[in-house]
Structure 1
């Protein structure tokens, strides 16, 4: 099992280039199944979850060419549906959450799709009802084999419909869009997720010949077409990694420039970190964080303690709440972190408490952090990464801590962050990957 060993307490300095966005890459790679023509996608992050999805596509018959690092061409001329029903596919497809987005394009183009119960982070309940209800409303028949833990959807023909989504699910919205682009007639999707990654998916589909209106809003109209063509697409920089490096810079008192961040797609991420007192400057399309000895949490205008919570876009992304929580441990002041979406995502705070952080876990969804103002550094310790976002948060804590830390189960970090140890060493980090 691979482990990170980190000697903390050292300031970093330099330029950091963010990887391509994991969440977007999973969507647009699945969308290549909608056409028999080649689709080229650039800036793909070569991380575990994405590479597993690419391998799954290869096994079901998709021709994949790696042009250069992060640049792939996909051609989905033929699909092996017998393999999709096999035990091997059930094993492979269950490895990651993103495999659920194979359903929409397969159903849309071929009239049938199969998937095992998808894997992913164990951060609480992650229902799939939005996906399947959307397919059913478009005319599909849904079946779930409880014994085999296997889903199937079939339709002789999908027909456009008006869909009011129960929740603004990002993957649910992506799946329904991909199902609707080849359906007959008009599909209206209300309460759709409108994250930049959904916008990027729509833009790629439009390049391929899809007709979609309302991109960037929570009300999408999709006019079905008979077929789609090939296209080229470039994945956005990963806003979650950008937020992670902002937090790392603050915790380690480092001066870091994050290059080519696509500012217009960061939403309120910079301002949320600024509310913790972190200085952030916009320099062209770069994000500059100067070295700070201290940063002070703002209160609300009425003087009450700041609350930071997650919400659907353009609200603050839940994937960065773990980072915000860690950064707050060394701020001046107190903050309430309210994680609304997943009831198990804050359970990693016990590891931070072991390091000396002052955190009160109020309930599964809320934690109060009393900042130490960099006066009492966190202590190095031995930890295990429970999921991707908690894993990178513990890594940030270890980078700021006094002494040496070890983080086990770093496969969880590798699932979302490409060669993060190598890229941090370029900035001066004392981090090594070891086998234990």
Structure 2
């Protein structure tokens, strides 16, 4: 188990380039299964979850070539469907949440798709009903082995239909779209997710020959085609990482420039951090964050009541950044209520921040009230364990702002979502070292 040692309390300075988007990569990589032709993908982040999925694709028989930093070509012209029945697949698929999105492409192209119950973050229930209800609506037969937690769908032919999703699931929408592009007839998906990463998937599929309209809205119309071809695609920068670096700059009172952020795809993110009192300047396609010498002040609502920051489906605020908002608020002037609607275990890392001296009231599994210190009382260094990707980076930001030397264990959780983080943080002046343990 890896460990970070962080000497906190130092200002940082410089430029940081966000990695390619993790959540986009997990969708796009699965889409290579839809064609026997070559698909080239650029700006792929070098992180554990993505690398696991690339390995899984290799084991499925996909030809994978590493073309350079962040660039790969994929050709699924000889897929080994027998691998889906192997013990190795049941083990590898279980270790990665994003593996669920191979089911839609496999079902569309080969008439069958299987997956063990996926793992991922321990942040609460993450049900798969939306995925499989969509496949059933397209004509697939569903089966589930309760003893092995193994899911399967099979169909001789998928037929387009109208469907209303029970939730605007991003991965569920992506999976259903990838199944529907090769179905017979027309499919409409209402209450579809419309995140930029889902838009990226639809645009890529259209370049491959799919016929998807309504991209960017919550009503997608898909006219099935007989086959898809190859293409080239470039990932967007990771909006969650961009939000993380905004929080890091504020908490450490640092002057940072975040490069090439694709401003037009950030949605509410700049607005929410501005409500926390953080100054963001748009410089071309970069975000410049000046040194917050005098701290930052949380805005109240116009009637004077306490600000609430809650997650919502796009174009609402992403749930993946609520952990960052919470830690940033610990040093603000004022108070904020953080409402995590989607996952009931995601706020359970706040006890670590309380140990560091933060003033946080955990109201229930979904809500926490933060009373900011205004930097009058610095967080204290401590020893912590990273419970999931987003809580892990939040604890790391807290440690970089704290007085003294902190230790964070189980940093593989952070590695799952953040590329070469020690090297990149050291480049802007962070005092951080990595140690590998038993």
TM-score bin (small chain): over 0.9
Cross-structure match for 1:37: 37
Q: What stretches of structure 2 of length at least 5 have no aligned partner?
A: none
The alpha-carbon deviation at position 78 of structure 1 amounts to 1.4
Counterpart residue number, 1:150 = 150
Distance 1:15 1:55 in 2: 32
Matching of residues 21-100 of structure 1 within 5 Å:
21-100=21-100
Q: What are the superposed Cα offsets for residues 175-214 of structure 1, whole Å, 9 maximum, x if unpaired?
A: 0000000000000000000000000000000000000000
The one-character-per-residue Cα deviations of 1:248-298 (angstroms, maximum 9, x if unpaired) are 000000000000000000001001000000000000000000000210000
Residue by residue, what CA displacement relative to the aligned partner does 1:356-401 show, whole Å, maximum 9, x if unpaired?
0000000000000000001100000000000000000000000000
| Map of 2:316 onto structure 1 | 315
Helix, strand or coil for the counterpart of 2:6?
Answer: strand
TM-score by length of 1: 1.00
Distance 2:397 2:338 in 1: 18
Partner of 2:305, secondary structure, is coil
State the distance in 1 between where 2:137 and 2:350 align. Answer: 41
Show the counterpart of 2:126. Answer: 126
Could you tell me how far 1:80 is from its partner in structure 2? 1.1
Q: How does 1:151-190 map to 2 (within 5 A)?
A: 151-190=151-190
Q: What SS does structure 2 have at the residue aligned with 1:31?
A: helix
Q: Deviations over 1:220-273 (max 9, x none)?
A: 000000000000000000000000000000000000000000000000100100
Q: For 2:407 and 2:81, locate their aligned partners in 1 and report how far apart those are by CA, in whole Å.
A: 44
SS of 1:367's equivalent in the other structure is: strand
Q: Name the residue aligned to 1:141.
A: 141
* Residues in 2 aligned to 1:428 and 1:122: alpha-carbon distance in whole angstroms: 32
SS at match of 2:167: coil
| Matched residue SS, 1:151 | strand
Q: Structure 1: where are the runs of 5+ without partners? A: none
TM-score, reference length from structure 2: 0.99
State how far apart, in whole Å, the 1-side matches of 2:155 and 2:166 are: 22
CA apart distance, 1:318 = 0.1
Which residue of structure 1 lines up, in the alignment, with residue 244 of structure 2? 244
Residue by residue over 1:124-161, the C-alpha shift from the partner in whole angstroms, topping out at 9 and shown as x without a partner, is 01010000000000000000000111111000000000
User: 4+ runs of 1 displaced by more than 3 Å?
Assistant: none
Cα RMSD after superposing both structures? 0.4
- Separation (CA, whole Å) in 1 of partners of 2:375 and 2:203: 44
SS at match of 1:182: coil
Show the counterpart of 1:379: 380
Aligned length: 436
